[in-house]
């Protein structure tokens, strides 16, 4: 049975060319029917579907998604992983692949990622390697996954020595983001998503930063119109960057603003101590500070970043006594994906809307930030 098309409030296309283009659909419905309908449209030949989720999301939404897919005549089952960043490890990929093969998933079948960025990154990577690539659909349930990680096809897992060191580019066939599921997100996870959204705003430009700052109360309480507009805005921005540089050889690197030190904070504190967004927030402050000290940004950029993060209740003091000190951060950053030899491709900001990727030696970064 082909389900009737659902009403998306917004559709953004990720224009990768030809059959590889895919839609990001924002809907106010719960994910069940929209995901089932989109799966039927995007992967019509799939007979079996494995819905990968985590143990926070499963009791809330997985049964409805599995039932809606089954109602389209497909065999659907769920695999529930433990929640949290620790799950984003190579061993979990083996578990997902084992489950998919045990349930008879063949090359023409599909996976669905129902969860936050952790589930999305894991499921996408498992889909990339299973049968040398099966289709998958992203059904992001966190604000972070809706504004960022579900779009663009970066998939993968962490290694003990660093974040996202193992992975693949593997684009979803569709992304279906339900605003309704954000209602069950803990407040801290909402702020985590807002940190990535603010990163986008600083990349997009002054107007975007102002737009966010004018809506602090509405965005932190997930007021409907403001949140819908924020997700749409971030998805449009990211879709354009990904369309321009899918494989991260140029402009896409700028999406890593705040991530060199963000990943270092996560690694040093242990995954889970800070959310990914909180770590990125601290990384944004250090990126702004470094930009000022190099003289590429006018004085005041760091203050603007700090002020904005503070307004959203996000960490904004990378010098706090309970955080790792600069030498440890620099050491950790040496393991970053963007590190090369004694340096790193660092994302600087001349001003909101004017990022630059610059190769910098760690010694220079240490000297500039140490003073």
SS3 per residue for the chain: CCCCCCCCCEEEEECCCHHHCEEEEEECCCCHHHHHHHHHHHCCCCCEEEEEEECCCHHHHHHHHHHHHHCCCCEEEEEEECCCHHHCEHHHHHHHHHHHHHCCCCCCCEEEEEECHHHHHHHHHHHHHHHHCCEEEEEECCHHHHHHHCCCCEEEEEECCEEEEEEEECCCCEEEEECHHHHHCCHHHHHHHHHHHHHHHHHHCHHHHHHHHCCHHHHHCCCHHHHHHHHHHHHHHHHHHHHHCCCCCCHHHHHHCCHHHHHHHHHHHCECCECHHHHHHHHHHHHHHHHHHCCCCCCCHHHHHHHHHHHCCCCCCCCCCCCCCHHHHHHHHCCCCCEECCEEEEEEECCCCCEEEEEEEHHHHHHHHHC
Least gap, CB of 255 to ligand GLY (angstroms): 4
Stretch that binds ligand GLY, among 43-51, 121-129, 148-156, 200-208 (CB under 6 A): 148-156
Choose the contact partner of 49 out of ligand GLY, ligand NAD, none; CB within 5 to 8 A by kind: none
Stretch that binds ligand GLY, among 54-62, 102-110, 147-155, 264-272 (CB under 6 A): 147-155
What is the Cα–Cα distance from 60 to 351, expressed in whole angstroms?
42
Q: Is residue 85 a contact point for ligand NAD (CB under 6 A)? A: yes
Beta strand 154-159 pairing with 343-349: unpaired
Site string for ligand NAD, 164-203 (x = CB under 6 A): x----------------x--xx---x--x-----------
Q: Are 74 and 49 in contact (CB under 8 A)?
A: yes
Choose the contact partner of 316 out of ligand NAD, ligand GLY, none; CB within 5 to 8 A by kind: none
Least gap, CB of 360 to ligand NAD (angstroms): 23
Site string for ligand NAD, 49-78 (x = CB under 6 A): -----x-xx--x------------------
Q: Which residue is nearest to ligand GLY (CB)?
A: 255
What's the length of the chain? 371
Phi, psi of 90 (to 5 degrees): -60, -35
Question: How many angstroms from the chain centroid is the CA of residue 21?
Answer: 19
Least gap, CB of 75 to ligand GLY (angstroms): 32
Q: Is residue 152 a contact point for ligand GLY (CB under 6 A)? A: yes
Choose the contact partner of 118 out of ligand NAD, ligand GLY, none; CB within 5 to 8 A by kind: ligand NAD
Q: Are 39 and 112 in contact (CB under 8 A)?
A: yes
Q: Is residue 255 a contact point for ligand GLY (CB under 6 A)? A: yes
Choose the contact partner of 84 out of ligand GLY, ligand NAD, none; CB within 5 to 8 A by kind: ligand NAD
Choose the contact partner of 252 out of ligand GLY, ligand NAD, none; CB within 5 to 8 A by kind: ligand GLY
Least gap, CB of 182 to ligand GLY (angstroms): 19
Least gap, CB of 62 to ligand GLY (angstroms): 26
Stretch that binds ligand NAD, among 10-18, 112-120, 342-350, 361-369 (CB under 6 A): 112-120
Tracing tokens 């801290």 back to the chain, one arrives at 188
Least gap, CB of 84 to ligand GLY (angstroms): 19
- Name which position in 3, 34, 116, 172 contacts ligand NAD (CB under 6 A): 116
Between 40 and 232, CB nearer to ligand NAD: 232
Where along the sequence are the contacts to ligand NAD (CB under 6 A)?
54, 56-57, 60, 83-85, 88, 115-119, 121, 141-142, 144-145, 148-149, 152, 154, 163-164, 181, 184-185, 189, 192, 275-276
Residues that bind ligand GLY (CB under 6 A): 148, 152, 154, 248, 252, 255-256
């Amino acid at each position: 049975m082909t389900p009737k098309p659902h009403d998306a409030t917004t559709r953004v296309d990720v224009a990768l060319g030809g059959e590889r283009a895919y839609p990001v659909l924002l809907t106010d419905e719960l994910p069940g029917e929209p995901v089932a309908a989109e799966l039927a449209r995007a992967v019509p030949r799939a007979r079996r579907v494995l819905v990968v989720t985590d143990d926070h999301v499963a009791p809330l939404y997985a049964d409805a998604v599995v039932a809606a897919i089954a109602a389209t005549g497909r065999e659907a089952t769920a695999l529930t992983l433990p929640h949290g960043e620790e799950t984003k490890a190579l061993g979990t990929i083996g578990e997902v692949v084992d489950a998919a093969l045990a349930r008879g998933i063949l090359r023409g079948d599909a996976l669905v990622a129902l969860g936050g960025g952790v589930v999305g990154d894991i499921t996408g990577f498992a889909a990339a390697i299973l049968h040398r690539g099966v289709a998958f659909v992203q059904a992001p349930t966190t604000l972070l996954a809706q504004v960022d990680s579900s779009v663009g096809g970066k998939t993968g897992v962490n290694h003990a020595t660093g974040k996202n060191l193992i992975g693949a580019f593997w684009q979803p066939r569709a992304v279906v983001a339900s605003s309704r599921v954000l209602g069950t997100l803990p407040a801290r996870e909402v702020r985590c998503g807002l940190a990535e959204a603010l990163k986008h705003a600083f990349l997009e430009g002054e107007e975007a930063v102002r737009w966010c700052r004018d809506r602090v109360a509405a965005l932190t309480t997930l007021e409907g119109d403001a949140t819908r507009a924020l997700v749409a805005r971030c998805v449009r921005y990211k879709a354009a960057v990904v369309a321009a540089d899918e494989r991260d050889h140029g402009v896409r690197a700028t999406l890593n603003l705040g991530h060199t030190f963000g990943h270092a904070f996560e690694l040093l504190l242990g995954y889970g101590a800070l959310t990914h967004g909180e770590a990125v927030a601290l990384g944004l402050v250090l990126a702004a500070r470094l930009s000022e000290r190099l003289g590429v940004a006018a004085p005041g950029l760091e203050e603007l970043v700090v002020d904005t993060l503070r307004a959203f209740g996000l960490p904004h003091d990378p010098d706090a006594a309970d955080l790792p000190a600069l030498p440890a951060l620099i050491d950790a950053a040496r393991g970053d994906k963007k590190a090369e030899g004694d340096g790193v491709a660092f994302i600087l900001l001349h001003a909101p809307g004017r990022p630059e990727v610059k190769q910098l030696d760690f010694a220079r970064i240490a000297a500039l930030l140490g003073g």
